[in-house]
Amino acid sequence: MSKFFHWLFNPYTEGYSSIAFIRLFAGLTFIGEGILKFIFPSMGVMRFTLLGFPFPEFTAYSIGVLEIVGGICLLLGLFNNLFALLFAGEMVVAFLSTKITMYLGTSPLPLPPVPPQAGFWAVVHESRDDYTLFFAMIFLMIVGPGKLALDAIFFKPKNRT
């Protein structure tokens, strides 16, 4: 367990500086999605209600705060592994809670505006953000936030003598 916590809060920070572009993409995406949960009920409370989540208001606003705070941390490269792990889990839950019923044609959410609206190809099309963000988070957990990250400043490896 101590190795897990060490990995969680001491990411590898010797990677390429260009990793910041992945953090930029993912961070801005999560910040935007988090803000949408507060501005548009159809993206927040109503969505979580239709999906059958318990305490939909609390859940929607908690996820919104997580996405905003975590997105900012991804932009800054702060607590990279923690937020990458949380967001990878969130993407799995998002996929399972929305795409299985879309595949079956029983989704409680509004159908996509144009075909395909249900079945395999609808899931392939509508899940592109889910799996792109999921694999971006896996990438960040493997390679770390890179040199252009606050983690690189705050969690420098100790000099070994």
Q: Are 14 and 160 in contact (CB under 8 A)?
A: no
* Tokens coding 20: 């910041």
**Percentage of the chain modeled with pLDDT above 70:** 97
Burial (CB count <10 Å: 0-12, 13-18, 19+), residue 20: buried
- Asked if the model's pLDDT at residue 128 lies above 50, the reply is yes
Residue closest to 121 by CA, chosen among 97, 145, 105: 105
* Three-state SS at 158: coil
Per residue in 55-100, pLDDT (tens digit) is: 999 999 999 999 999 999 999 999 999 999 999 999 999 999 999 9
Distance CA 64, CA 91 (A): 14
Q: What is the pLDDT of residues 6-49, one digit of tens each?
A: 889 888 999 999 999 999 999 999 999 999 999 999 999 999 99
Query: How far from 36 is each of 23, 43, 44, 101, 103, CA to CA, in Å?
Result: 20, 6, 7, 23, 25
Residue 111 is predicted with a pLDDT of 86
35: left (phi over 0), alpha (psi -120 to 50) or beta: alpha
What confidence tier does 113 reach under pLDDT thresholds 50, 70, 90?
confident
Confidence of residue 106 (pLDDT cuts 50, 70, 90): very high
Token pair listed for 27: 């961070």
Residue of 81, 90, 78, 88 whose CA lies nearest to 37: 90
pTM score, two decimals? 0.91
